Structure 1
Amino acid sequence: MTTRFFGAPVKRNEDRKLLTGQGLFIDDVELPGMLHVAFLRSQVAHARIKRIDVSEALQRPGVIAVYTADDLGAYWQPGPLLVPPPPIEGSIFNARTQVPLARDKVRHVGEPLAVVVADSRYIAEDALDDIVVDLDILPAIVDCEDALQAATHVHDDLSSNMAARVRQTKGDYRRAAANAHLILKRRFRYEHGISSPIETRGMVAQWNARADQMTIWDTTQAPVFVRNGLAAMLGLGERQVRVIAPFIGGGFGPKIMMFYPEEVVLPWISMRLNRPVKWIEDRLEHFFATTHERGQIHDAEIALAADGRILGVKDVFLHDTGAYDPYGLTVPINSQCTLLGPYVVPNYDSTFTAVFTNLPIVTPYRGAGRQHGVFVMERFLDLAAQALKIDPAEIRRRNLIPPDAFPYKNEIIYQDFQPLEYDSGNYEPVLDKALELIGYDRFLRDEQPKLRAEGRCVGIAVACYVEGTGIGPYEGAKVQVQSNGKVNVATGIGTQGQGHFTSFAQIVADELGVDVTDVDIVTGDTDRFYWGAGTFASRGAVVAGTAVKKASRAVRKKALKLASDAFECAEEDLVLADGKVSITGIPEKFIRLGDLAQRANPMRGAVTPGTEPGLESTQYFGPPMGATANGVHATIVEVDPQTFDLKVLKYIVVHDCGTVINPMILAGQIHGGVAQGIGNAFYEKLSFDDQGQLLNASLADYLLPTALEVPRMELDHTVTPSPLNPLGIKGAGEAGAIPVGPLLAQAIEDALDLKRKEVELLEIPLSPSRLFELTRKARPT
C-alpha cells in the first residue's frame, strides 16, 4: 500500500470549525436554568480561619446559595495524590493535597474559602463582598531556602517544610572530581511563571436526578481521570458520570492537574441544587488559582578533563512545590533526569529537596522541569568552553552520546518509574545541521567582527537538549467504519490544539484507504471512549496514535476478510483504496467500505463463531518506556546596551522526533514552544513580596511575548525512528520550549561580551531590568 497521507503536510481537519466560530468551548455551554458560581478567595498567604459569616450574602437578591467547608460535610476531604513518587530507594515524600474549600487554615493567596451560587456571575461576584472573614494571620513562607529553617510550618502536622528529598546517583562523582582537570561550581536560579493560556479554566456541571446522570464539561487534559475521581467522591458509578473536554484554548500542563477545588465543588453543588452550574476562571484568578511552574535553585558543580570531556556532575537543588504537592515529584524528577541531556556523563550525583511554601501549587507546565536541568548543563558547558578555551559548539560535540551507544542507559529512575533509557538517536548530525543553518563559522569569522566595529552588540549561541516523550501507561482507540463509508475514531485522550483531529486521521486514512477528510475524530468524551490517561508529556501522537494504528490495522484486516468472502478470492488479491475494496487488476469490480460495514452487521443469518459484529475494532497500546526526542536550537540576537531590549535576528531549530506524521503540525508545535520559551527566558516572572502577595497579577505587569518579539524560525529535522512503537514516532510538544533559557543567556553574554567583563548569566528570566542590574557593575561610570 502506498502512503498518501502519513508524513504529508495535510491541512488540519479541525480548522474550518474553529475559524468559522463553530468550535465548542466551555463558556459556549448554555443550559436551561443554569446558575453561576464565584469563589471567595483568600487575600492572605497564610492564616488560621476563625470565622466565615455568609449571612449577609444569602440576603442578596439573586443569590441561591453560599457554601463553606462546613457545608460540604463528609464530602470535604483532601484531594487524591495524582502521581505517586517513583520508587527510588531512600527517598522521602510527604503527600499533602489541596481541599475543596479551606476549613481551618489558608496556605496561599487565592485558596478558595467559600462559593456563591447565583442567577448570574455578576450577582455572585457582588455577593462575595458581603461575606465576612475573620483570619488570624500567620507569617508567610515565601522563599524556599528560608522555608527549611523557618519555625512556621505550612502544614502543622509536619516537623518541617520539607515536602520531599530524593537522591539519585550513577558512578562515583567524588572519584571523578579527584581526577578532574577543571571543576566549576555555580548557583543557578529559575523563577516562577504561569502558563497564561488564551482560555482560562472553566467547568459546567449538570446533574440529572431523573436519569441519575452527571454530565460535566471541563477544561481538562485528562477527562477519564476526572470522571473516575469525581464518581468515587460523589458516590456514583463511573457510568453515571460523563466528562466532556471540548475544544480547549491551550492546556500546556496546568490543565492536567485533576481535582482543582473548583472541579470538586461544582458537581456537588449541581447535585445539591439539581440545577446546572457554571464557573469560568477570570484572568486575575488564573494568576492565583491555576498552578504555577519553575521555582528552583541549583547549587551544582561539573568536573571536566582537559579536553572538555565531562567526567561528572554533582547537583543539589531546591524545588518550590508551593502549598501542596498533588502532582507528586514529576517536575523535580524531570529536572534531575533531563540535566544529563544528550551527553555522556559517566558520574552523576543529584539530590533535590522539594519545599512547601505559601505560594500557589507547582505542577508541570510545557517542559515540566526539563528547562531547569537543561539550563544547568548548557550553562556549565558555556562556562567550561570559556575556561578551557574551546569553542562552545565544539565542547558539546565532544560530549555527545555516539550513535552506536543506543539504547543508552542512564541508570537513574525517570518520571515514568522506569530506568532512564534513551531508545534511539544520532545527535551529531543534528548539531551539524543547526550550525550550518545558523552560519556559525561565517558569523564568528566575518559578520560579528564587522557588526561590533559598527558598535552593534550581536551574539550567537547554540544549545542541545533531549525531550522525554511518549510515556505510558496506555491509551486506546476505537475505529469504526460507518454505513456511509466514513470512519469514526474515538480515543480517551484530550486535545488542546495539538492537531490530533488531523494526525490521527492521517494514520487511519492510510490504513483504510479513505480520504483524510472522511475520518471523524472524537477526543475527550468519556461516553464515547471509556479509558485513557490523558494529554501530557508529549505522549498523544506516540501512545494514542499507535492505538489508532493498531485499531485501524484490525479493521483493515476485517474489511479484507469480508471482501474476500464476497469475491471468493484470496485477501492478497484485493486492493483497499479510495473508500472501497477492489480486485487487483479489475478496478471495476469493487465493494465500498460502507457496504462492507452493513455486511458486518447482518439482519439475518447465523454469525460464524469467533467473529465480531460491525466493521470496527478497539485496541490499546502501552509503551515499555518513554521515547526520547532530541534537538539543537541556535540563534543570533542583538541587544541594545542602553535599554537591554532584545531582538532575535535569526532562530534555528533542528529536531529529531522520529518519524514525522505531519510536518506542518509539527512546525506549529515547535513555533508555539519557542514562543513560550522566549517568554519564560526573557519576560515572565511572578514577583511575590515577603507576605506571599503577588505584585504583578495582571497582563499589564506580567510580561508576555507578542508577535513582535517572537521571531520567524527556520526548522529542519533528522529522523531516527523509535523502536518502541510501530510508527517509529516520538513526541515533540515541549521541544520548542526546553532549551530557550540557556540559549538566550549564552547569546546575550556573547552579544554584550559579558565574559570579558566577568559577568555571568546564571538565572532565568533575564528581563531588561534584570540585565541592567546584573551588568551595571561592569559598565563604565
Structure 2
Amino acid sequence: MTRIEFVNNRLVSNYMEVRSAIGEWRADEDRWVLTTGSQGVHGLRDLLCNDIFKVPPEKLRVITPDVGGGFGPKSFNYREYTLVLEAAKRLGVPVKWTGDRAEHFLQDAHGRDNAVTAEMAMDEEGHFLALRVDLKANMGAYLSQYGPFIPILGVSMTTGVYDIPAIDVNVTGAYTNTVPVDAYRGAGRPEAAFLIEKLVDACARDLGIPREEMRRRNFIKQFPYTTQTGRMYDTGDLNGHMTKAMENAGWASFDKRLAKSKKNGRIRGIGMSTYIEVCAFPGSEPAFVELRGDGTVALKIGTQSNGQGHATAYAQFVADKLNMGIDRIEVRQGDTDELAKGGGTGGSRSIPLGGVSAALAGEDLAEKIKKIAADELEASAGDIELADGTARIAGTDRVIDFASIAKAAKRPEDLKGQGEFVQQEGTYPNGTHICEVEIDPDTGETNVLSYTIVDDFGVTVNPILLAGQVHGGIVQGMAQALSENTVYSDDGQLLTASFMDYTMPRADDFPSFSFETRNVPSTTNALGIKGAGEAGTIGATPAALNAVTDALYRAYGIGHIDMPTTPNRVWSAIQEATKAK
C-alpha cells in the first residue's frame, strides 16, 4: 500500500478586471437595473429577486457588458450588488461601486484549499485494488454559493482514468476564519486530478515501476465505463494520447538532457499527468437567432463571455448553417430584458451546450429563409441554396439577398429561429500533460523547460480559441504548483493581500507549449464536442508538481514536496535531505 499526505493550496482567482456594479432604481418602470460583470445575468437576477429582495424577477433587470475574466468567482452574488440597488432606491440616484485589488483578495471567493490523505492498495504487479481518501475541505468563515458542492463534485472524479475496483472516500467541510472558498477554474476536478496523479507517481516509486507503465497497467481499457462513483465515461484513447505526448516530449531521451543539466550543476525532472474531467453537465442552453432588416443576423444566448471568444465561436455555428460570413452575425449576451432565461458560463458548458443549440437555431432559420426565398423566386424550397448572405435557385443566377428576404417576410416569426439541445450526461475531456523542469540546487529556483499536451476534446470547433483556452489553463495550473499561495497568519490576518506578496505567473516564466489534439468524439453530445475551458488547469498542476518531485527524487531521494514549490521551499527541502545523508 502507498500512502500520501498533502495540502492542495488555497488560491485567489485574480481576474484581470476587479468587480464593480452600478445600481439604479427606475421609478417610471417600478424596477431596479443592475449593471455588473458576471458569468450569467439570469442566475444573478434570480438569486437577488428570490432570496434577497423577495420580488418577482421582472422587478430587476441585470446587464453584463464585456467582462475581463471570471474563472468561477464572478458567478456569485456578492453583498455589493444588493447594497448598490438598495442605496439607489433610497437615494433616488444611480449608485456606483468599484472594488480594488485589495478588496478582491479580502472578499471575493477563493479556490482549492484541501488537506488530503490518500492510500492505494495494489497487488505485487502494481494493479490497483482499492483507494481510500480522507479530504478536509476549507469552507472559510461561512458558506459561499456553491462551496460545499465543490469537494463533492471533485470526489466524483476520484478514480481519474484508472480502473480501481473499490474506493472509500470521506469528505469533511471545515469552517475557518478565512475568506469563503468556492468554485475556481475546474471546481473540484483539478483537486481530484492532482490527488490521483500524485498518488500514482508515488505508487510507481514505491514499487520501482516506470510511471508510464504504472499508468498503462491501470488505465481503463474499454469504453463506455462506469466508475465506482457513478460517472459514465463515454469515450477515450488513454494510452494513445499518453504515448503520443511522450513521443512529442522526448520522454525516451530524457536521460541525455539530464546528463547535460548535471554537467551544469543543475538537477532536472520530467513529470506527467493523464487526466479526465467531467464538464458540460446535463442540461441545456437555448439559442435564438433573427434575420434583421439589413441582412445581418442576431444570435441571443444566455451564456456570458469572460474573454473566451464566444462572439466568434457561436457565430461559426450559425454561419455554417446559413452559409454567410461570421462578420454578419452579432452575438448578444448579458441582458435579462433580451432573453427570458439562461444558464450562464461555467463548467465548460458554453460551446458543448450553447454551440449545439446555436447550430440548431441556425438550421431552423435557414429553413424559414428558404421558404420565403422560394415564394419570392417562385420555386420550391428544396431547390433553394444559401450562399454569402443570399438565397438562390440552385444551378441558376436567380438570387435574392437576405435584406430583401427580411422585407418580404409576412410575420416577424418567419425571420426567427431557435434551438435547444438538451444533454443528458456530461462530457469527459481527457489528455496527457508532460512538463520538464530544471532546478538550481543553490537557489531552489525552478525553470520550466518544455511543456507538452495531447488532449481529447471530441471535436475541435476553433483551433485558435481552443489553444488559447488550453494555454491559459496551463499557466494557471502550473502557477498553483510553482508559485501561487494564499497565506494567513496564526491570528487570521491575510498576509498575501496584494501582488507585492502573492506571486502571479508571468509570460516569461513559461516556454512555448506543444499542443495537439487526439480527438475521440463524445457520444453524449450531439456534435461530439467535449468541453475545454477548464481542462488545461486540471492537467497542468499535477504534471508540474510531478516534474519537480521527479527532479528532487532523482538527485536527493525527496519523494514529497507541497505546493507551491517556491525557491525557498525547494532549497529548504534540498538542505534537509543533504543534512540527513
Residues 633-658 of structure 1 deviation map (CA, whole Å, 9 limit, x = unaligned): 11211111111111111111111111
Please identify, of 763-772 and 430-439, the stretch whose mean Cα deviation from structure 2 is larger: 763-772
Letter in 2 for 1:408: Y
The residue that corresponds to 2:459 in the other structure is: 659
| 1:595 lines up with 2:395 in the alignment | no
The residue that corresponds to 2:46 in the other structure is: 228
Residues 223-281 of structure 1 deviation map (CA, whole Å, 9 limit, x = unaligned): 10111222333354322321111111110011112x21112221111111121111111
Choose from 207, 219, 225 the match for 1:400: 219
What SS does the aligned partner of 1:737 have?
A: helix
1:549-698 matched pairs, under 5 angstroms = 549-586=359-396, 588-601=397-410, 613-698=413-498
Residues 613-641 of structure 1 deviation map (CA, whole Å, 9 limit, x = unaligned): 23112332331121110111112111111
List runs of 5+ in structure 2 lacking aligned partners: none
1:361-372 matched pairs, under 5 angstroms = 361-372=180-191
| 1:332 lines up with 2:151 in the alignment | yes
Q: Distance in 1 between matches of 2:570 and 2:557?
A: 14
Report which of the two has the higher share of helix.
2
Residues 276-318 of structure 1 deviation map (CA, whole Å, 9 limit, x = unaligned): 1111111111111100011111111001122222212110110
TM-score by length of 1: 0.72
| Contact 1:231–1:238 (8 Å) recurs in 2 | yes
Question: Structure 1 residues 224, 472: CA separation in 2 closer, same or farther (over 3 Å shift)?
Answer: farther
What SS does the aligned partner of 2:14 have?
A: coil
What SS does the aligned partner of 2:478 have?
A: helix
Question: Structure 1 residues 450, 646: CA separation in 2 closer, same or farther (over 3 Å shift)?
Answer: closer
Letter in 2 for 1:778: A
Choose from 708, 723, 728 the match for 2:528: 728
1:147-546 matched pairs, under 5 angstroms = 183-232=1-50, 233-257=52-76, 259-325=77-143, 326-402=145-221, 405-412=222-229, 419-444=230-255, 446-546=256-356
Residues 558-602 of structure 1 deviation map (CA, whole Å, 9 limit, x = unaligned): 11222233334333322111111111111x111212222222235
Letter in 2 for 1:649: L
Q: Distance in 2 between matches of 1:709 and 1:756?
A: 23
What SS does the aligned partner of 2:536 have?
A: coil
RMSD: 1.7
Please identify, of 474-483 and 557-566, the stretch whose mean Cα deviation from structure 2 is larger: 557-566
Residues 421-464 of structure 1 deviation map (CA, whole Å, 9 limit, x = unaligned): 112222221111110110110223x3323432443312111111
Question: What displacement does 1:554 show?
Answer: 0.8
Please identify, of 510-519 and 763-772, the stretch whose mean Cα deviation from structure 2 is larger: 763-772
| Contact 2:311–2:330 (8 Å) recurs in 1 | yes
Choose from 543, 550, 555 the match for 1:743: 543
Question: Structure 1 residues 601, 711: CA separation in 2 closer, same or farther (over 3 Å shift)?
Answer: farther
Q: Distance in 2 between matches of 1:589 and 1:461?
A: 62
| Contact 1:460–1:746 (8 Å) recurs in 2 | yes
| Contact 1:543–1:623 (8 Å) recurs in 2 | yes
- Aligned pair count reads 578
Letter in 1 for 2:432: V
Q: Distance in 2 between matches of 1:252 and 1:601?
A: 45
The residue that corresponds to 1:768 in the other structure is: 567
What SS does the aligned partner of 1:690 have?
A: coil
List runs of 5+ in structure 1 lacking aligned partners: 1-182, 413-418, 603-611
Q: Distance in 2 between matches of 1:328 and 1:293?
A: 9
Residues 323-366 of structure 1 deviation map (CA, whole Å, 9 limit, x = unaligned): 22231433202321222111111211111011111111100111
Identical counterparts, % of pairs: 35
What SS does the aligned partner of 1:697 have?
A: coil
| Contact 1:741–1:764 (8 Å) recurs in 2 | no
Q: Distance in 1 between matches of 2:417 and 2:41?
A: 22
| Contact 2:441–2:574 (8 Å) recurs in 1 | no
Letter in 2 for 1:247: D
Q: Distance in 2 between matches of 1:299 and 1:541?
A: 36
Q: Distance in 2 between matches of 1:583 and 1:305?
A: 69
Letter in 1 for 2:304: G
Q: Distance in 1 between matches of 2:224 and 2:63?
A: 39
Q: Distance in 1 between matches of 2:137 and 2:7?
A: 10
Question: Structure 1 residues 311, 755: CA separation in 2 closer, same or farther (over 3 Å shift)?
Answer: farther
Please identify, of 204-213 and 556-565, the stretch whose mean Cα deviation from structure 2 is larger: 556-565
What SS does the aligned partner of 2:156 have?
A: helix
Question: What displacement does 1:381 show?
Answer: 1.3
Letter in 1 for 2:64: A
| Contact 1:678–1:710 (8 Å) recurs in 2 | no
| Contact 2:267–2:555 (8 Å) recurs in 1 | no
Question: What displacement does 1:762 show?
Answer: 4.7
Please identify, of 476-485 and 234-243, the stretch whose mean Cα deviation from structure 2 is larger: 234-243
